[in-house]
Chains A and B, each alone.
Chain A
């Protein structure tokens, strides 16, 4: 039986090697390409008619747009509107990556820590730079909690700094672990179908199949939820940087 982790292996499709660095076009890159193609088609074609009374497809694109627009307005305020395009791109990229990863045989690039870490670090660095540009050195007052006795400061400030620095770690591991865990679990149960079925004239194989059906529904929820959580946390970090405390 194949390992449930086999689905996470990266295969080279077109070998590319630049200056001794392996930049091959892989199944991961392929599925990133499929993701942005599907998401772009979904958004651009859905909005192409710009109808006053939208059809179903146009409603879906407008709902996606307003979902993120409202999220930014609620969590960041008007100052966050400038960052809408990037946050929207991030949400759509993760959402479609997660959802398309559920297609049987697909590769889920968000199940790789290096990808989610890169996304989270981009957010972390961008938000920190935004905070420093907006507030200058005053930004570092963010690490000094208000209303705490001066005696506690030597303890509180390192805690605040550690908590700030752990943001990209938790942001990336949350997404990566959820995607990897879900896909592994589905594969583990799928792996039980044939052995159990063979031992019980096919009847026993139904139980893991039923489990996988339930898990598929659950994974659809997780796919959306994790894209949502990643985006909401991005908004909250952005809000911290723009408005400090």
Chain B
């Protein structure tokens, strides 16, 4: 408002300043007054001003203004419409995004569950197989031990006979003694007993 008041004031001053020479000219021309103050021309100016202003008003009112308003209104509606559409699309996209994220989370959850289950199954299977294997091994060991034990007694008995024969042969070769079977057997038994 201040700037506006100043501009009005300035143009007013400029106007008065510039009017001074024109008034001086008017005086110098020998009393011919300002054309603006010639009242005989007032009626025609007022008449034609009224006519022209009324005509102009109706041209604008009936023709120009509705066109401009129509264009502005159409544009405003189109822009609003487009904005509405854009926000609808945006909501749609956001919903799709949420659905996608939910599906992703569900899938991850499911995968984790499957993984857990499989891991558990694998772990259970491994334990089972390990214990079965351990049992089989224990059984085999036991069978092998039994077989060894079974083979051990005759082997030991055979060993005694071999030792007796060796004793008899050694005695015969070294000392020329004929050791009887019974004696050799007793001596081996005594020696074995002593060792034990």
A interface, CB within 8 angstroms of B: 3-5, 8-10, 16, 21-26, 28-29, 32-33, 35-36, 39-40, 43-44, 47-48, 50-52, 54, 58, 61-62, 65-66, 85-86, 88-89, 92-93, 109, 111-115, 118-119, 174, 176-178, 180-182, 184-185, 188, 222, 225-226, 229, 232
| B52 contacts across to A, CB distance below 8 A | 29, 32-33, 35-36, 93
- Give the interface size bracket for B toward A: 35 or more
Assess the A114–B19 pair: CB atoms within 8 A: no
Asked if B147 is an interface residue, CB under 8 A from chain A, the answer is no
B interface, by DSSP: helix, strand, loop or mixed?
A: helix
- Min CB gap A227→B, angstroms: 12
CA separation between A118 and B42, bound complex, in Å? 10
| A178 contacts across to B, CB distance below 8 A | 11-12, 14-15
- The 4 A-B residue pairs whose C-beta atoms are closest, nearest first, are A181-B18, A29-B48, A177-B15, A43-B64
Given contacts A21-B43, A181-B14, A181-B19, contact A89 B53 (CB under 8 A): yes
Given contacts A5-B22, A10-B35, A184-B22, contact A118 B49 (CB under 8 A): yes
Asked if B191 is an interface residue, CB under 8 A from chain A, the answer is no
In the complex, 22 of the A-B residue pairs with CB atoms within 8 angstroms, ordered by the A residue number, are A5-B32, A5-B35, A24-B44, A26-B44, A28-B48, A32-B48, A32-B52, A40-B59, A44-B63, A89-B56, A113-B37, A114-B36, A114-B41, A174-B8, A174-B12, A174-B15, A176-B36, A177-B15, A181-B14, A181-B18, A222-B11, A229-B11
Asked if B25 is an interface residue, CB under 8 A from chain A, the answer is yes
> How many pairs of A and B residues are in contact by the CB < 8 Å rule?
179
- Min CB gap B51→A, angstroms: 8
Among A10, A40, A174, contact of B11 (Cβ-Cβ < 8 Å)? A174
Assess the B18–A113 pair: CB atoms within 8 A: no
Asked if B46 is an interface residue, CB under 8 A from chain A, the answer is yes
C-beta contact mask, B1-43 vs A, less than 8 Å → 1, else 0? 0001001100110111111011001100100101111101111
- Min CB gap A147→B, angstroms: 20
Assess the A32–B49 pair: CB atoms within 8 A: yes
Assess the B41–A10 pair: CB atoms within 8 A: yes
| B42 contacts across to A, CB distance below 8 A | 114
Given contacts A23-B43, A28-B48, A43-B68, contact A5 B78 (CB under 8 A): no
Assess the A3–B25 pair: CB atoms within 8 A: yes
CA separation between A182 and B19, bound complex, in Å? 9
C-beta contact mask, B40-84 vs A, less than 8 Å → 1, else 0? 111111111111110111011101110111111011001000000
Assess the B21–A184 pair: CB atoms within 8 A: yes
> By CB atoms of chain B within 10 A, which of A28, A119, A181, A226 has the most?
A181
Assess the B36–A180 pair: CB atoms within 8 A: yes
Assess the B46–A114 pair: CB atoms within 8 A: yes
| A119 contacts across to B, CB distance below 8 A | 49
Assess the A26–B60 pair: CB atoms within 8 A: no
